[in-house]
Amino acid sequence: MNATEFMQTVDKQLLKMSNQDKFEWMRSYARIQTGNQREIFLESLKTPVIANQVISTKEIEDWLVKVEDQEVYFTYFYENSCDNHYEDYTYVDDFSIIKYLLKALEIAEELLNKSDYRKAADLYDWLCTVPFFVYDTEKKEWIDDELDMERLAESQMIQINIRQIGINLLYAHYQATVKEKRASVLYRYLLWEMCQNITIEEFFSVRPQEVNDSEEFLLEWIDFLQKTSGDRAGKLLTEAYLYQGGIKLLCESAEKNKNRHPLLYEKACFYLYEDKQFSECEEIGLEAINNIAESRLIRAKVANLAAKASIKLDHLDKIEQFYEVAFYSESSLIHYLRLFKLSDYEEKTDKAALFTKDLPDTFSRRYFNGNTQLNENWLGDDSKRLLRFFNKEFDFIYTYCEGEKNYLNWNNSLKGKIVPLFFLILDKNDGTSKAKKAIIRKLVSRLNFHSIEKEREEDYLDLWKKTIKLTPEQIKFYLVWLNQEIAALTDVLVGGGNRKLYSIAAELIVLLGEVLESNGTQDGKIGLINWYKETYSNKSAFKNELNKIG
């Protein structure tokens, strides 16, 4: 039951009650109050009296002027740490800022309860935006980084409910603003960090006084948000539809907002899936992929949600359709590897790899960070090369990697990903050794791909590996090349004394030995380890790494 339905039910019940019934109910409700709830209850009975009181804000306004003029400020001093470095610091409230701020917030809330909305709105504005300056007592200078009310709360220098203050701010402006400007004014404040997570339902329901013209405003609000770009507008529009008519209205409204707010399709799929309405989720997903431009990344998010619903329904044809859609809208590695699940994966993975060659190689700057729902598909040059490797274009990748010689940049280079991947291809062992586990864990992190279903990331790599068939000549060629690469890498990392990188070389050496053994080289692992120990006999830390991983 949302706030509107709740209040409608309350109104109906109150209409059925006589004055005597209401009186008895209030007395019964009063009896069950305990502790500070009794004082809150008594204060609520005094609300009509508060409305007649005049509240002066002059003292607080004068204080705020002093804050802005840097007559009132925090001081800041360092404390010596154990090693005598000035790393610890403390804020000191010499001017009782916290005390005055709490008093100011009390006055703002009193103004709100008194229905003096214009004064309350202005005071909340001032309190939420005033900078509190900080003076460094040791350096005898003002520090550049001022504090504000929100930062004071985050650092627990003041105990206040920032969320409730945000709701009060919005409510005051709603009541103080002419109807024609209400939507734009509220939206401006809802962009503030402190108001980011406030929902329309909270705004309508958490005040003791009912929001005037809420139904009329909701229509104005939806109309305004439909014409306003940005993720925040999209999320607020989603909330407004849900508040007004539930998931059904959200689904019905997604199509007309498809160009400015494709986010509505994603939210509709999400809520339908969470509500276990799998058929409806699949249906809205199919509608979405036809209505959202293929280049939009959000189309892939919708496809992934709808695919989960299709899995629940065991609709294999729809699962495959959504998998393909996800790749063509977001050509990530995980989406590509998932194509190997398809019945005719060979043709589709070839086509998919070819598609990426013409993708933009830089992120589109047409849409600012606050409008990510319109972001478009792109793929950097190294990511394109990586997909060509997974498309089994091994000769092309080998030629490219031969040109990469900066072994100190191993972790950030394409070769640093390709060499371990070649090990996985060539390894005929079914088990997982210590070295293999370590390399796969790092590889998954550096490939930056994360499972979007129940499978582990390694499962996708295993699925892909099963599709690869190398000739004996290819196996021999790549084993020789890998041996040369590991030797060159070890010479730079270990021979150059880069102790922090010894483990990289050790893990690759051990895994190379295991791969050699799996391809028929007797004692390949122990023989290779011993050779490197002899070659770098004066590097005890490196030999320890070999012992640890081998």
Helix/strand/coil (H/E/C) assignment for every residue in 36-53? HHHHHHHHHHCHHHHCCC
| pLDDT range class, residue 113, cuts 50, 70, 90 | confident
| pLDDT range class, residue 318, cuts 50, 70, 90 | very high
User: Amino acid identity, residue 110?
Assistant: E
Q: How far apart are CA 91 and CA 78, in angstroms?
A: 9
Q: How far apart are CA 124 and CA 101, in angstroms?
A: 11
- Residue 272 CA: distances (Å) to CA of 265, 306, 434: 11, 10, 43
Q: How far apart are CA 194 and CA 182, in angstroms?
A: 19
Q: How far apart are CA 309 and CA 280, in angstroms?
A: 9
Higher pLDDT, 135 or 368: 135
Among left, alpha and beta (phi > 0; psi -120 to 50; other), residue 392 is left
**Mean of all residue pLDDT scores within the chain:** 90
| pLDDT range class, residue 99, cuts 50, 70, 90 | very high
- The pLDDT assigned to 366 comes to 58
pLDDT at 344 over 50: yes
Sorted by where each begins, the domain ranges of the chain are 58-211, 227-358, 396-549
pLDDT at 184 over 70: yes
Q: How far apart are CA 283 and CA 251, in angstroms?
A: 10
Evaluated on CA atoms 145, 150, 152, 153, the torsion sign reads negative
Lowest mean pLDDT across 2-16, 206-220, 287-301, 370-384: 2-16
**Span 275-300, average pLDDT:** 98
492-500 long-range Cβ contacts below 8 angstroms, 24+ apart: 492/407, 492/408, 493/407, 493/408, 493/410, 494/536, 494/539, 494/542, 495/536, 496/408, 498/408, 499/541
Backbone phi, psi, residue 283, to 5°: -65, -45
Query: Residue 428's closest CA among 308, 488, 514?
Result: 514
**Span 142-146, average pLDDT:** 90
- The pLDDT assigned to 50 comes to 42
**Span 53-57, average pLDDT:** 71
Q: How far apart are CA 365 and CA 376, in angstroms?
A: 10
**Span 212-222, average pLDDT:** 91
pLDDT at 322 over 90: yes
**Span 11-36, average pLDDT:** 79
pLDDT at 21 over 50: yes
- The pLDDT assigned to 49 comes to 43
Lowest mean pLDDT across 24-28, 248-252, 450-454: 450-454
Report which listed range, 77-81, 119-123, 361-365, is most confident: 119-123
Looking at the structure, give the CATH architecture of the domain made up of residues 227-358.
Alpha Horseshoe (1.25)
Q: How far apart are CA 488 and CA 502, in angstroms?
A: 13
Higher pLDDT, 460 or 89: 460
N- to C-terminal Cα separation, the chain: 61
| pLDDT range class, residue 34, cuts 50, 70, 90 | confident
- The pLDDT assigned to 376 comes to 95
**What are the beta bridge partners of residue 296?**
376
- Can you give the length of the chain in residues? 550
| pLDDT range class, residue 451, cuts 50, 70, 90 | confident
- Residue 14 CA: distances (Å) to CA of 32, 61, 297: 20, 42, 50
pLDDT at 295 over 60: yes
pLDDT at 163 over 70: yes
pLDDT at 342 over 50: yes
List pLDDT tens digits, range 458-479. Answer: 889 999 999 999 999 999 999 9
- Residue 320 CA: distances (Å) to CA of 327, 335, 338, 478: 11, 12, 10, 34
| pLDDT range class, residue 455, cuts 50, 70, 90 | confident
**Span 513-523, average pLDDT:** 94
Higher pLDDT, 409 or 123: 123
pLDDT above 90 covers a percentage of the chain that reads: 75
Contact present, 182 and 220 (Cβ < 8 Å): yes
pTM for this prediction: 0.84
- The pLDDT assigned to 47 comes to 52
Q: How far apart are CA 367 and CA 349, in angstroms?
A: 30
| pLDDT range class, residue 52, cuts 50, 70, 90 | very low
